[in-house]
Structure 1
Amino acid sequence: MDKFAAMQTFVRVIDSGTFTRAADLMNVPKSTVSRLIKELEKELGVRLLHRTSRQLTLTQEGHAYYEGSIRVLDEVGSLDASVLSTTRSPKGKIKVELPGSLAYHVVVPALPDFFARYPDVQVEMNIGNRSVDLIAENLDCVLRLGPLLNDSLIARPAGMLPLITCASPAYLARHGTPENPADLGDSYTIVRMTSPRSGRDFVFHLTCEEMTTEIHGSHQITVNDSGAALAAGLAGLGVLTTYAFLVAPHLQSGALQRLFPDWQGDQIPVHVAYPTNRHLAPKVRAFVDWAIELLRAMQVV
């Protein structure tokens, strides 16, 4: 039995929650995963897992062996990385997840620069802003907008994204240009946004000196995606509050007009996060550092 391979397989089974999921992530038959776990238990002379048709649970010995395996695998990963970093550039595939707004308008357009720096790295990109188990989903890192809801992640702050309130000239021609947030009321429609995580309405604020007010208005459309909200604003469906980096080119072209320039919108934090109990491989560290550099250099923070 390859003890190191069995240890890696055992950790993958626990992280993913099932033998089938572990086999899929490792791209091996489920029978191989089962065999390695059985051989590991036989060599150790203890049962590591309680198996039922619905779930796997660790025995007391299994929990201790899992924690020890994490430390061993992390040390081996650190050793490999320290040696490889002196001999070659980062190499291999990384799997990342980020919101569509950042993917379409910031990260993907800049990827030629990343690949020019790291030609041997491949990026597999999931679009989303979910609260997920990175290890179970086999994700190396995530870019997250808003507060992080997962304490098991190491989060590196990448700054703050300001929100701007604006509307299309056609909409303002029909309804007039409000001079103060309080003018909105029932006289204007807003593009209402809800959280894709919770489904709750987003409440946007504007601050001027020591005064803070919420943006209110009736609505005809509700969306849970910032790209759809931008499209609604451009179509003249109401007053839009969204990320400054999304509307910047449309403000410049005149397709949108900023409202209440003396008032400051909310600031939304953005983080790059990765699991706490995993060694950060050079290829992942390269992407994390590059993403933070990109966000700051593009002045979207």
Structure 2
Amino acid sequence: MDQLSAMRVFVRVVETGNFTRAAATLNMPKTTVTNLVQSLESHLRTTLLNRTTRKVMVTTDGALYYERAMQIISELDELDGSMSNSQSQPSGRLRVEMAGAFADLLVIPNLCDFHARFPQIRLDIGVGDRLVDYIAENVDCALRAGTPTDQSLIARKVGEISMSAYAAPLYIRNFGTPERPQDLLEDHLAVGYLNAQSSRVRSMEFRRDDENLEITPRYVVSVNDARTYVNAAISGMGIIQSPRFMVKETVEKGELVEVLSDWHCASLPLYIVYPQTRHLSNKVRVFVDWLAKLVQNLKVEESREQMRKAS
């Protein structure tokens, strides 16, 4: 038995959910796929899959083997890629973690372009702003907002996102409009954004001329998801600092209005992070470069929008 081939076939059966689809995607006869999985189970002396007439279910041992097999296959693919010609098309599975708002509003709308450029890369996107065990979960990299603090990770900056402060008309009717950032310490409320890495509410940074302020605002609710953060502001729970692209449609609908517009909010840096135990493979490198270009184009569009409004 070719154990590596059997391992790849087993992984594809798990991912597709049955032997027929796995055989089709691998361009193999179904009997070959079945025999390879059975040989693997005999070699391991355990049942990896429970078969019924309708579907295939992974056993406990099968789930554990799948995770380790995926890690081994990914590392082999990376090794092959690093040894191949740098001009060749990067390929293989790329597992990326990112917050839901960045996935929904930035990456997914432009993903057809990435696929057209790199058709042999299969993207698995995990949505969430959480602590990740990169090795155990077989995650290649993560897109993170804010400067990373985990010294065990390598961080590569892909750009900065423009930020502004916003409040809902309902909030303004109830509490008025803040005139200066210090009001967030006294007469006004913010929605707190809970940093998953530090478990602390993020501060708000404001700049005007030579004056730089870092405010840890008063709040009655904090959240750890960007979309929930915006929705809490829309409901009138407080003032937020948000990336402009994230609230563009909300502002156009009149659900949020910009406040403290005579102050500049600090830009939000974006980083791709990955563990030190992994080198920057070709597939990660092209994704990082593509993402950096995406952020750059976003800033150009925002600058044009600001110019149109000024004129």
How high is the TM-score relative to the length of structure 1? 0.68
How many residue pairs end up in the alignment? Answer: 243
Other-structure match for 2:140: 140
Other-structure match for 2:38: none
Whole-angstrom distance in 1 between the partners of 2:253 and 2:124: 33
Counterpart amino acid of 1:78?
S
Counterpart amino acid of 1:132?
V
> What is the DSSP-based 3-state SS (H/G/I as helix, E as strand, rest coil) of the residue aligned with 2:262?
coil
- Relative to structure 1, the CA distance from residue 77 to residue 21 in structure 2 (aligned partners, 3 Å threshold; closer, same or farther) is farther
**Aligned pairs for 1:74-153 within 5 A:** 77-79=81-83, 81-82=84-85, 85-86=87-88, 89-153=89-153
- Write the deviation string for residues 101-121 of structure 1: whole angstroms up to 9, x where unpaired: 211211112112112222332
Whole-angstrom distance in 2 between the partners of 1:255 and 1:144: 27
Whole-angstrom distance in 1 between the partners of 2:146 and 2:216: 21
**Aligned pairs for 1:185-264 within 5 A:** 185-215=185-215, 218-264=218-264
Other-structure match for 2:55: none
1:74 Cα deviation (Å)?
7.3
Whole-angstrom distance in 2 between the partners of 1:245 and 1:138: 31
- Relative to structure 1, the CA distance from residue 249 to residue 159 in structure 2 (aligned partners, 3 Å threshold; closer, same or farther) is same
1:133 Cα deviation (Å)?
4.1
- Write the deviation string for residues 163-212 of structure 1: whole angstroms up to 9, x where unpaired: 32110122212322222223344432221222222321222121211223
> What is the DSSP-based 3-state SS (H/G/I as helix, E as strand, rest coil) of the residue aligned with 1:174?
helix
> What is the DSSP-based 3-state SS (H/G/I as helix, E as strand, rest coil) of the residue aligned with 1:201?
coil
User: Does the 8 A contact of 2:100 with 2:127 survive in 1?
Assistant: yes
Whole-angstrom distance in 1 between the partners of 2:240 and 2:139: 33
- Write the deviation string for residues 226-253 of structure 1: whole angstroms up to 9, x where unpaired: 2111001111221122222212332333
- Relative to structure 1, the CA distance from residue 283 to residue 219 in structure 2 (aligned partners, 3 Å threshold; closer, same or farther) is closer
User: Does the 8 A contact of 1:74 with 1:278 survive in 2?
Assistant: no
Counterpart amino acid of 2:192?
R
> What is the DSSP-based 3-state SS (H/G/I as helix, E as strand, rest coil) of the residue aligned with 1:179?
coil
| 1:24 counterpart = 2:66 | yes
1:259 Cα deviation (Å)?
1.0
Question: Which stretches in structure 2 are left out of the alignment for 5+ residues?
Answer: 6-60, 303-311
Aligned residues: CA RMSD: 3.3
User: Does the 8 A contact of 1:77 with 1:279 survive in 2?
Assistant: no
1:125 Cα deviation (Å)?
0.9
1:77 Cα deviation (Å)?
4.3
- Write the deviation string for residues 99-149 of structure 1: whole angstroms up to 9, x where unpaired: 222112111121121122223322111123344342332112221111223
Other-structure match for 1:41: none
| 1:268 counterpart = 2:268 | yes
1:156 Cα deviation (Å)?
2.1
Whole-angstrom distance in 2 between the partners of 1:115 and 1:275: 25
User: Does the 8 A contact of 1:190 with 1:216 survive in 2?
Assistant: no
**Identity between Structure 1 and Structure 2 (%):** 33
How high is the TM-score relative to the length of structure 2? 0.66
Counterpart amino acid of 1:208?
R
- Relative to structure 1, the CA distance from residue 24 to residue 169 in structure 2 (aligned partners, 3 Å threshold; closer, same or farther) is same
